[in-house]
């Protein structure tokens, strides 16, 4: 990853629509000529591999890393030893190829710049009230006492413009 990569997190409570927004933002940002990568935090055990596949067998046999490649894509799976801590966002970012913008979904407790997805109907508090790394809010309702700009969550073009304006250069 180059030192000129821009970064913005998409953070919010479960059920707020983070993934839906990221899925809508990627094509809108690509239309602006940006190469986009994403990092998604998972709160549970997950597999990108399937039982019965050779890569699964390699990993289950104890390979620390398994790289699978084809003419269309490649994927690298890395297994953590049982006592290894989960990597931080800052440890994961250098593993990406050079892009113009990285959207980070999740990692809401890390200190990277963020756009908060907030739906008052969920009854959850604003992250922006406590987290100074939240630079803007995308919401389906007005938030009159917000300390940062608020954009309509359903206006993808306006949210994309906010992402471009608020994404920060990160030295990676």
Domains and CATH numbers, the chain: 6-46+86-169 (3.40.50.300)
The phi, psi pair for 78, rounded to 5°, reads: -120, 130
| CB-CB contact of 21 with 10 (8 Å) | yes
Residue among 167, 136, 168 nearest 152 (CA)? 136
**Which positions ≥6 away from 8 have C-beta within 8 Å?**
101, 102, 103, 104, 112, 113, 114, 115, 135, 163, 166, 167, 168
Distance CA 154, CA 139 (A): 8
Query: For residue 34, what pLDDT band results from cuts at 50, 70 and 90?
Result: very high
**Average pLDDT score over residue span 104-126:** 93
Of the candidate ranges 27-31, 60-64, 132-136, 143-147, the one whose mean pLDDT is the lowest: 60-64
Query: For residue 51, what pLDDT band results from cuts at 50, 70 and 90?
Result: confident
């Amino acid at each position: 990853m180059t030192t000129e990569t821009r970064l913005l997190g998409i953070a919010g409570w479960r059920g707020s629509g983070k993934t839906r927004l990221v899925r809508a933002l990627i094509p809108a940002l690509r239309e602006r000529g940006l190469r986009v990568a994403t990092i998604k935090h998972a709160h549970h055990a997950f597999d990108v591999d399937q039982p019965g596949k050779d890569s699964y067998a390699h990993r289950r046999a104890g390979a620390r890393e398994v790289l699978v490649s084809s003419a269309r894509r490649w994927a690298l799976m890395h297994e953590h030893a049982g006592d290894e801590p989960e990597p931080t966002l800052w440890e994961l970012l250098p593993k990406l190829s050079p892009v113009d913008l990285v959207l980070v979904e999740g990692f809401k407790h890390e200190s990277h710049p963020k756009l908060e997805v907030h739906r008052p109907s969920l009854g959850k508090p604003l992250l922006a009230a406590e987290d100074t790394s939240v630079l803007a809010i995308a919401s389906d309702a007005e938030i009159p006492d917000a300390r940062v700009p608020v954009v309509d969550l359903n206006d993808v073009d306006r949210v994309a413009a906010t992402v471009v304006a608020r994404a920060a250069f990160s030295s990676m």
